[in-house]
């Protein structure tokens, strides 16, 4: 997605450990117009898939997921990383190791908001080692929901997540694919891959 790549080139900074910082439009401050374009792109790709719900993970997946939900006319549910006072039982849960924070979190979704009758689109901000999406897939399996596909805003194609998720057989649609971050240079995979 050209517009997204332009934003990454213009605003992205490379931190140590192959972390791409995009705080100006995605991970801290949010650019609503860009997020709407991102959401529309996901919606367009999956509009024939019979999606009944978008599933994401807090907090940075929420903005793109909400715009995709708006475009598809379906609700958005986000997995929580911390148990809250109002979310204590009746949960689907799985454990996710965070690449950026280097810690394991239990993520959970209330059983009230995901069911075997749902066909879901999973959305996340970044795909690195694939752990976050695998956690969401585990929750989808617990719910017996059908997974129509996986939408990723920024994929770091040089890490193992892509290969790991391809093994699941679900369609993966990444809007920007970063080939490398070597020497603080952001390089994209030549062709945007839409599957």
Q: Which is nearer to ligand 5GP, 5 or 124 (CB)?
A: 124
Residue 126 found at the interface with ligand 5GP (CB under 6 A)? yes
Q: Which is nearer to ligand 5GP, 46 or 126 (CB)?
A: 126
User: Rounded to the nearest whole angstrom, what is the least distance from the CB of residue 61 to ligand 5GP in the complex?
Assistant: 6
User: Rounded to the nearest whole angstrom, what is the least distance from the CB of residue 5 to ligand 5GP in the complex?
Assistant: 15
Q: Which is nearer to ligand 5GP, 20 or 145 (CB)?
A: 20
Compute and round to an integer the Cα radius of gyration of the chain: 16
> Residue 7 has what DSSP assignment?
H
Q: Which residues inside 7-46 make contact with ligand 5GP, applying CB under 6 A?
A: 19-22, 27
CA torsion sign for 151, 155, 161, 164 is positive
Q: Which is nearer to ligand 5GP, 11 or 142 (CB)?
A: 11
**130 among annotated binding-site residues:** yes
Could you give the CA distance from residue 173 to residue 186 in angstroms, rounded to a whole number? 20
Residues that bind ligand 5GP (CB under 6 A): 19-22, 27, 60, 98-100, 124-132, 156, 161
């Amino acid at each position: 997605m050209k517009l997204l790549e332009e934003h990454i080139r213009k605003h992205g900074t490379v931190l140590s450990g192959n972390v791409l910082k995009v705080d100006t439009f995605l991970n801290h401050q949010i650019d609503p117009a860009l997020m709407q374009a991102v959401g529309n792109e996901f919606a367009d790709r999956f509009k024939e898939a019979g999606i009944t719900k978008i599933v994401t993970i807090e907090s940075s997946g929420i903005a793109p997921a909400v715009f995709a939900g708006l475009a598809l006319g379906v609700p958005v549910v986000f997995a929580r990383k911390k148990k809250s006072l109002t979310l204590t039982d009746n949960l689907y849960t799985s454990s996710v190791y965070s690449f950026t924070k280097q810690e394991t979190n239990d993520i959970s979704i209330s059983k009230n908001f995901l069911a075997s009758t749902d066909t879901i689109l999973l959305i996340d901000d970044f795909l690195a080692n694939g752990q976050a999406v695998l956690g969401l897939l585990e929750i989808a399996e617990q719910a017996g929901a059908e997974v129509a596909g996986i939408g990723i805003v920024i994929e770091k194609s040089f890490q193992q997540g892509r290969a790991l998720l391809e093994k699941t057989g679900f369609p993966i649609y990444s809007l920007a694919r970063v080939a490398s971050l070597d020497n603080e240079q952001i390089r994209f995979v030549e062709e945007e891959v839409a599957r």
